[in-house]
Amino acid sequence: MTHWKPTTCMRCAVGCGQHQRGVDQGYGVDKVRGDYDHPATAGLSCERGIRETENPDGEWLTEPLIRRGDTLRPTSWEQALGVVAAEFIQAIADDPDSVAVLGSGQQTNEAAYALGKVARGGIGTRHFDANTTLCMASAVRAYYDAFGSDAPPPTYDDIPEAETHVVWGANPAVAHPVLYRWILDSAADADSRLVVVDPVESETAADADQYVAPDPGTDLELARALLARLVGTDRIDRAFVDAYTEGYDELVDSLPDAASAAETAGVSMATVDALADAFADPTLLYWGMGVNQSTNGTDAARMLVNLCLATGNLGPGTGPFSLTGQANSMGARVVSSKETWPGQRPFTDQEHRATVASTWGVPLSRLPASSGPGPVGIVDQINRGNVDVCWTVATNPVAGMPDATNVERSLDDVFLVAQDAFRSETVEHADVVLPAATWGETEGTTMNMERRVSRVTAVSDTVDAVRQDLDIIAALGNRIDEDLFDEPPLDPETVFDEIRSLTEGTVADCSGITYDRLDAELAVRWPAPDEETQGGYRYYEGSESGSTDEGESWSFPTDSGRACFSAATYRGLPEPTDATYPLLLTTGRRAGAYNTGVRTRETASEVPTARIHPETAGQYIDLLDRGRTVVESRRARVTVDLAPDDSVPTGAIWMDVHNPAVNDLTVPAVDPDSNEPNYKQCAVRLASPDAGPTVTQNGLPRTGTLDGD
């Protein structure tokens, strides 16, 4: 029997410590259990994380593939890498921006860093991004604007200290069950409470002491109504605001009438008052994709941060806490050179750019001037003929991006390289497929949502024709620029040491974190500028009295050294309902499923379920065929099984994000500040399963279809 080895769960961003053991014969993980010595999770681990590590569903990729006509055929690594490198080099010679690279929050820090190094320093393209932009970019932008740096100020240590837990636009009961257990335990204390804000009465809402159901897509207006009410009733912590913030007066001047904003959000003033009361006690404010994935997402996240600042809910046991989805979304943001250079170095700062170029040994002029237009913007550039080659790594844009049918057509127009561990919708469209190792087969590190760095370890070899993400990236990088990396296979620890060196002295300093330290301590939270210390509550430097109310000291990496309020104006929905498309589609996570479902789907063709309020379903009874109907947007039509569910608001349809058909429906509008897509609301209608398509390729409705259009 192989021995147990500590690792980190890569299912979500909680970062549960685990022990894993490999099989006695062959390849794979035999058993997984929680690690009781882990400083973040102390033995807790959800059943789904264990199951998906031990025995994931999906078809494993076991050899390189190359397209011959309409078919993917087995090939050698030498031929696969040679063909890909030739396409890359030819495109780079024409224009480095004609190559697009899409990474992932599923990579280790080392692989994410190496991919950014190739994209920015080897190729020199601005068209590099990752699927982390699809879920966290709005929260990231809000953090930078308020605090001058990314990542939540609180940590898991603050959860038991809070008296009020406000969960806004998130469903941690499904998405983050271990973290949710801590929230429930704390909220169960005397004089504590759980408040949930969500248009859908989710599993988390079912446990709430107070549940608020705004109209879908109106989170910003509800937050502005709440702030206006707090200002109007003199419930602002002026001592904190005056001492440690700036921009408050401009914010107040921008606020709407509370009653008017509440009406837009579809809630009563009594509800606003009750929600305002929650912030009188030490409050942690959590939010998720329901806030971020909107064209108003950055402004809504800014307003949630404003709520914490205005009420003095910043400091131990309080604060704004965005809930990250993917396991290493934080790591991709810190090390991959996506929006910033490693260590959150500003992308356009010439001194930082020179440091990065020198470390990488590449010409400064090769680094792109812009961080790029985001994943949806990259697809737009493909459609405009500005991108010829696209390389996807551990991501599935054909299923995971909005208006997925358009994404599919776009990727068919370029030379597509798909690097993944499992067969996916994107793999099916690839010209070359590069099979990579997955959880239990990979060495490296990851970062959880509270900034803890921990080890990811291997207990199984791979089949001979599967390689490590890091080594595939390095092999391609060296064919573009022979001096980018040592000859593969690379030592992940050596790559991590390079990451450490680039973060030294930055706001995301990881220089004091080493593999040896992680082996001893299991997880270390940044900033960690030396090998004895690690980060706690961000920006807070404590007080002489030990009280958080007197003699506080704060240090924000902003130009003024103060936290910054932001004003915002509600822009409405990018695609509101109308007489032609009278229903609103919203999306969310389902228990037991994973991202685009590649690891958890039984079959790729399973019919998605659409949840709908019984009252709304009753209006469309003639369009049902034994419970089956069609959901149709301006972009696509999807056959669904309709499930009456009174937790969904009237006039809305809820579908989970894990079925690849769902994003055929969604709208590709993005937040103007973060480039994060508006997954959460688009206009749809129900149609008979027997009816023909009622939308054309450009999304315009045909004449003579349902609902009078």
Q: What is the mean pLDDT of residues 131-141?
A: 97
Same domain, 350 and 459: yes
- The confidence score (pLDDT) of residue 595 equals 77
Q: What is the mean pLDDT of residues 237-254?
A: 98
What are the distances in angstroms from CA 87 to CA 62, 161, 388, 469, 562? 23, 55, 9, 20, 49
Mapped to the 3 state alphabet, what secondary structure does 425-439 carry?
Answer: CCHHHCCEEEEECCC
Over 70: is that where the pLDDT of 695 sits? no
Same domain, 297 and 378: no
Over 80: is that where the pLDDT of 706 sits? no
- The confidence score (pLDDT) of residue 551 equals 67
- The confidence score (pLDDT) of residue 598 equals 79
- Cα dihedral 122→124→125→129 (10° resolution): 60
Q: What total number of domains does the chain contain?
A: 4
Partners of residue 677 on adjacent β-strands = 670
- The confidence score (pLDDT) of residue 602 equals 62
Q: Indicate the average pLDDT of the chain.
A: 94
Same domain, 278 and 230: yes
Domain that holds residue 287: 135-322
- The confidence score (pLDDT) of residue 546 equals 43
Least confident of 41-50, 52-61, 114-123, 370-379: 52-61
Same domain, 607 and 657: yes
One-letter amino acid of 661: A
pLDDT band at residue 308 under the 50/70/90 scheme: very high
| CB contact at 8 A, 347 and 371 | yes
- C-alpha span between 148 and 449 (Å, rounded): 18
CATH at residue 644: 2.40.40.20
* % of the chain surpassing 70 pLDDT: 95
Provide the whole-model pTM: 0.95
- The confidence score (pLDDT) of residue 296 equals 98
Over 90: is that where the pLDDT of 20 sits? yes
Same domain, 628 and 698: yes
- The confidence score (pLDDT) of residue 692 equals 62
- The confidence score (pLDDT) of residue 19 equals 97
* % of the chain surpassing 90 pLDDT: 89
- The confidence score (pLDDT) of residue 179 equals 98
CATH at residue 123: 3.40.50.740
pLDDT band at residue 137 under the 50/70/90 scheme: very high
Over 60: is that where the pLDDT of 260 sits? yes
Same domain, 437 and 334: yes
Model pLDDT for residues 526-567, shown as the tens digit of each residue: 999 999 999 999 999 987 444 444 568 999 999 999 999 999
In 3-state terms, what secondary structure has residue 684? strand
Instruction: For residue 633, give the nearest of 705, 684, 668 by alpha carbon.
Output: 684
CATH at residue 216: 3.40.228.10
pLDDT band at residue 707 under the 50/70/90 scheme: very low
Q: What is the mean pLDDT of residues 461-489?
A: 97
| CB contact at 8 A, 115 and 100 | no
One-letter amino acid of 75: T
Same domain, 210 and 289: yes
Over 80: is that where the pLDDT of 89 sits? yes
- The confidence score (pLDDT) of residue 599 equals 75
Q: What is the mean pLDDT of residues 85-100?
A: 98
Model pLDDT for residues 317-354, shown as the tens digit of each residue: 999 999 998 999 999 999 999 999 999 999 999 999 99
- The confidence score (pLDDT) of residue 550 equals 55
- The confidence score (pLDDT) of residue 558 equals 97
Same domain, 334 and 301: no
Residue 546 lies in a domain: no
Same domain, 318 and 339: no
Over 90: is that where the pLDDT of 163 sits? yes
pLDDT band at residue 444 under the 50/70/90 scheme: very high
- The confidence score (pLDDT) of residue 547 equals 42
- The confidence score (pLDDT) of residue 152 equals 95
- The confidence score (pLDDT) of residue 142 equals 98
Residue 556 lies in a domain: no
One-letter amino acid of 147: F
Q: Name 182's Cβ contacts closer than 8 Å, sequence gap at least 6.
A: 156, 159, 160
Same domain, 377 and 291: no
Over 70: is that where the pLDDT of 1 sits? no
Model pLDDT for residues 578-623, shown as the tens digit of each residue: 999 999 999 998 887 777 777 776 666 689 999 999 999 999 999 9
Q: Name the domain boundary from 287, 302, 322.
A: 322
- The confidence score (pLDDT) of residue 606 equals 85
Residue 521 lies in a domain: yes
CATH at residue 32: 2.20.25
Same domain, 408 and 338: yes
Over 50: is that where the pLDDT of 708 sits? no
Q: Name the domain boundary from 322, 357, 383.
A: 322
Q: Name 507's Cβ contacts closer than 8 Å, sequence gap at least 6.
A: 148, 149, 343, 344, 527, 557
Q: Name the domain boundary from 304, 322, 340.
A: 322
Instruction: For residue 395, give the nearest of 431, 425, 429 by alpha carbon.
Output: 425
Residue 565 lies in a domain: no
Model pLDDT for residues 400-427, shown as the tens digit of each residue: 999 999 999 999 999 999 999 999 999 9
Over 50: is that where the pLDDT of 709 sits? no
- C-alpha span between 387 and 174 (Å, rounded): 38
Least confident of 13-27, 603-617, 681-695: 681-695
| CB contact at 8 A, 121 and 360 | yes
Q: What is the mean pLDDT of residues 622-638?
A: 95
Model pLDDT for residues 180-227, shown as the tens digit of each residue: 999 999 999 999 999 999 999 999 999 999 999 999 999 999 999 999
| CB contact at 8 A, 637 and 695 | yes
Over 60: is that where the pLDDT of 311 sits? yes
Q: Which residues of 465-486 are buried (b: 16+ CB within 10 A; e: fewer)?
A: ebbbbbbbbbbbbbbbbeebbe
- The confidence score (pLDDT) of residue 136 equals 96
Over 50: is that where the pLDDT of 49 sits? yes
Over 70: is that where the pLDDT of 360 sits? yes
Same domain, 398 and 296: no
Over 90: is that where the pLDDT of 697 sits? no
